[in-house]
Amino acid sequence: MFYKTLFTRCTAILTLLLSLTCHAEEKYEVSPDSSNFVIASLVTTTPADVIYSSMGHCAIRMQCPSESLDYCFSLEMAAEPGDYAQFFSGQAKAAVVAVPTQEFINAYRTEGRGMTQYELNLTHHEKQQLWRLLDEEVVKPPHLTFNFLNTNCVMMSMLMIEHCLINERIDFGKLPPALQLNNGDLIRYHSAHTPWAQFLYITLSGAACDGHEMMEYRLSPKMIVEVLDKATIQGDSTAARPVFKEKPTPLLAATTHPKPSPITPTMLFGAILLFTVAITIAERFGHCQKTAKILDILLFAFQTIVGIALLYTSTVANLFGSHWNWYIIPTCPIAIILWLTCRKHSWHRHLYLAYTVILILFILATPLSSQLDLPHQLITATFAIRTLANYFLPHHSIQ
């Protein structure tokens, strides 16, 4: 992916598109109706291992062969590669950049990712309008806050294509069944090939999992192709025509493929739960008391760190939008505050019982929200077992 905006030739391109007096080179003949003077295409890439590219990428390619102009317009983050703090804090800015196509292709070739082009079946004036809209975005400084739900590469590509139509519209026809799912289940559908990315998406999405965004905001690079391949462009005075003009053109063959971890979140947190059960049983019979105490400290620290992070992402950061996050309940930092202030009182052990009840009710609430799923509730069950143990075994509780 690219993180530096290229502004070269923008004025020349805009002037070019407004003029029809340019002369074709011998190697490229412009048709009498100028329909091939500009070529517009949707470009998609295969996924990568990094979290923000785990579903792939898409961009719009604009070509004017007679003038040797060829750019890919892509929505990119302004953060430097590896700047995960800015990314996960929701502070990463994004902007549309214009990258020479060969440079764009070479970057993905280096990563071993595949790339495919789908030529758009737009009129000459619509292609002019599309290039004009993209140019207007390119000259702006990074001004969009990157957001998985409504500021992403697919949304940019889809809305630009829709906005360039002149007295026409896209008829999507029958949409894929997956688009009828709520946001949470749709995220699972898009990220089925990468369980840990899916776990992170669901963790951060909050109550947004239970809703339905606009269709344009719910597509992945793979699904936008599936949707547009069956869609048509229609106007009141024009015959319907397919959105894609011809068969797709492979630009790069994928040489590497993301390799999901052999250990899934369900496997890891299930193993931790079984380990916790075993330690708790041993503790009950007077064994592994030191191990149990260390486990409690680690779980308490994990719960506090996650709780603070979720509070931040849900109220301040804009990575997925500011939505209530159900996992704030089992990870609420209030737990450590109560422990720090009340642990020396004789009645503090009853806080463990109250917290256990809350955790059990939270597990029982799983069917009420699409954010609540098995991997996360295995963590909640682990918390519940240790809080209940600290209630019944107060002489072994954290001091």
Task: Tell me the mean pLDDT in the region 359-372.
Answer: 95
- With beta carbons less than 8 A apart as the criterion, state whether 73 and 138 touch: yes
User: What confidence score (pLDDT) does residue 10 get?
Assistant: 46
- Of 84 and 243, the one with more pLDDT: 243
- Of 325 and 79, the one with more pLDDT: 325
Determine the Cα–Cα distance for residues 103 and 109; give it in Å rounded to an integer.
Answer: 10
Question: Which among 324, 298, 330 has a CA at the least distance from the CA of 311?
Answer: 324
Task: Tell me the mean pLDDT in the region 296-310.
Answer: 92
User: What confidence score (pLDDT) does residue 311 get?
Assistant: 87
Residue 98's pLDDT band (boundaries 50, 70, 90)? Answer: very high
Percentage of the chain modeled with pLDDT above 90: 55
The burial of 127, by beta-carbon neighbours within 10 Å (0-12 exposed, 13-18 middle, 19 or more buried), is given as: buried
pTM of the model: 0.82
- With beta carbons less than 8 A apart as the criterion, state whether 184 and 370 touch: yes
Q: What digits encode the pLDDT tens for the residues 21-79? A: 344 344 667 777 666 789 999 999 999 887 778 889 999 999 999 889 999 999 887 76
Determine the Cα–Cα distance for residues 151 and 373; give it in Å rounded to an integer.
Answer: 26
Question: Which strands, in side-by-side order, build the sheet including 241-242?
Answer: 168-171, 232-235, 241-242
Alpha helices in the chain (DSSP H): 10-18, 84-88, 101-111, 124-138, 153-163, 183-190, 195-205, 221-229, 265-284, 289-315, 328-331, 334-342, 349-364, 374-392
**What is the SS3 assignment for 14?**
helix
User: What confidence score (pLDDT) does residue 256 get?
Assistant: 86
Question: Which among 86, 243, 249, 285 has a CA at the least distance from the CA of 158?
Answer: 243
Q: What digits encode the pLDDT tens for the residues 171-209? A: 998 999 999 999 999 999 999 889 999 999 899 888 889
HSE-up (13 A, CA, CB side) for residue 11: 0
Most confident of 113-122, 140-149, 190-199: 113-122
- Of 348 and 62, the one with more pLDDT: 62
Q: What digits encode the pLDDT tens for the residues 245-263? A: 988 999 999 998 878 889 9
- With beta carbons less than 8 A apart as the criterion, state whether 352 and 334 touch: no
User: What confidence score (pLDDT) does residue 342 get?
Assistant: 76
Question: 96: which strand partners?
Answer: 75
User: What confidence score (pLDDT) does residue 33 get?
Assistant: 66
Percentage of the chain modeled with pLDDT above 70: 85
User: What confidence score (pLDDT) does residue 20 get?
Assistant: 39
Task: Tell me the mean pLDDT in the region 353-367.
Answer: 95
pLDDT at 83 over 70: no
User: What confidence score (pLDDT) does residue 168 get?
Assistant: 94
Residue 7's pLDDT band (boundaries 50, 70, 90)? Answer: very low
Question: Which among 40, 220, 52, 44 has a CA at the least distance from the CA of 115?
Answer: 44
Task: Tell me the mean pLDDT in the region 231-256.
Answer: 91
User: What confidence score (pLDDT) does residue 273 get?
Assistant: 98
Residues ≥6 apart with Cβ < 8 Å to 30: 24, 36, 37, 66
Residue 392's pLDDT band (boundaries 50, 70, 90)? Answer: confident
User: What confidence score (pLDDT) does residue 386 get?
Assistant: 93
User: What confidence score (pLDDT) does residue 9 get?
Assistant: 44
pLDDT at 146 over 80: no
DSSP conformation class of 244: B
Handedness of CA 367, 368, 372, 377 (dihedral sign): negative
Whole-number average pLDDT of the chain: 85
